[in-house]
Amino acid sequence: MPHQSKRTKQSEPGAQATGHSADKCRMSNIECRLPDSILPFDNRQSTIDNSLLSAIWQALGSVTDPEIPVVNVIEMGMIAGVRIEADGVVIDVTPTFVGCPALDVIRENIRAAVSAVTPAHVTVNVVFDPPWTSERISETGRKKLKAFGLAPPTGQRSVGAMPTLERTPCPYCDSEDTDLESIFGPTLCRSIHYCRSCLQSFEHFKTV
């Protein structure tokens, strides 16, 4: 789904580090997908735009999934693009699970958080380019999930192969002596496991 506008400025955190041109970023969101720890600064853009982009990314850092309130949407890898266009600010969100009932709440929370830092019109799009995979969760995000008692996604996503759910490491004691109890859990993104070592059940964010 192409995003076209007469005047498009696109940013991802740290995009400047690779020296991608703005044009290249516009053609493909994937090419400027980068880790989430750095706030954007692009010396090809005006100072006003840069300070707005920085404020937008900071605002996004305050939005969390209501069902996992410890990890923000940047750490979850859900932000596919932020652009300042002639008629407002556009945020592209790539959903974790397509049927996630929290998605509308997250979109609204993003719109509200970004609207608090700019009077411009804020549009929050749902995109599948790039498709969200569990590999998009940042290292910080993974640590926070684990501390929350939710075992982070394991392994690599492989298109052909079936996912592995056996021996998922326990988020409490790190033991791999664990059993899969149920492929589905309290939310559709989670499975339920039991740790034979510390004798606790735990949930796991599935690899997709």
Partner 1 sequence: MSRTIDNFESLTAVVKQAVVSLLYRLADDELIIGHRNSEWTGHGPILEADIAFSSMAQDEMGHAQAYYQLLHQLGEPDPDTLAFGRKPREFRCASLVCLPKGDWGFSVLRQFLYDASETVRLTALGDSSLVPLAQLADKLHGEEKYHLMHGRSWVLRLGHATDDSHQKMQSALDYAYPHALGLFEPTECDEPLAQAGISPREEELKRQWESAVAPVLADAGLTVPEGAKPLYGGRVGRHPDALKELLDGMQLVYNIDPTAKW
Answer for which of 38, 120, 192, 198 binds partner 1 (CB under 8 A) is: 192
Tell me how many residues contact partner 1 (CB under 8 A): 30
Please choose, out of 12-20, 35-43, 97-105, 111-119, the segment that lies near partner 1 by the rule CB under 8 A.
Answer: 97-105
Q: Which residue has the tokens 């069902």?
A: 67
Residue 154 DSSP code: -
Q: Residue 28, interface with partner 1 (CB under 8 A)?
A: no
Q: For residues 117 and 107, is the Cβ–Cβ distance under 8 A?
A: no
- β partners of residue 202: 193
177 binds partner 1 (CB under 8 A): no
Q: Is 201 in the site for partner 1 (CB under 8 A)?
A: no
Interface with partner 1, residue 49, by CB under 8 A: no
Question: Which residue stretch of 56-64, 75-83, 91-99, 110-118 sits at the interface with partner 1 (rule: CB under 8 A)?
Answer: 91-99
**What tokens does 40 get?**
């954007």
124 near partner 1 (CB under 8 A) = no
**Is residue 129 at the binding interface for partner 1, with CB under 8 A as the rule?**
yes
Please tell me whether residue 200 adopts helix, strand or coil conformation.
strand
- Residue 122 C-beta: closest distance to partner 1, Å: 20
Residue 58 within binding range of partner 1, rule CB under 8 A: no
Q: Does 156 bind partner 1 (CB under 8 A)?
A: no
Beta carbon of residue 125, minimum distance to partner 1 (angstroms, whole number): 11
Beta-carbon neighbour count of residue 102 at 10 Å? 18
**Extended beta strands in 73-171, E state:** 79-85, 88-93, 122-126, 150-151
Ramachandran angles phi, psi of 182, nearest 5°: -155, 135
Strand partners, 193: 180, 202
* Distance in angstroms (rounded) separating the CA atoms of residues 21 and 10: 10
Look up residue 200 and give its amino acid: Q
Which residues form the interface with partner 1 (CB under 8 A)?
A: 1-2, 97-101, 128-129, 131-133, 157, 159-160, 162-163, 165, 181-188, 191-192, 206, 208
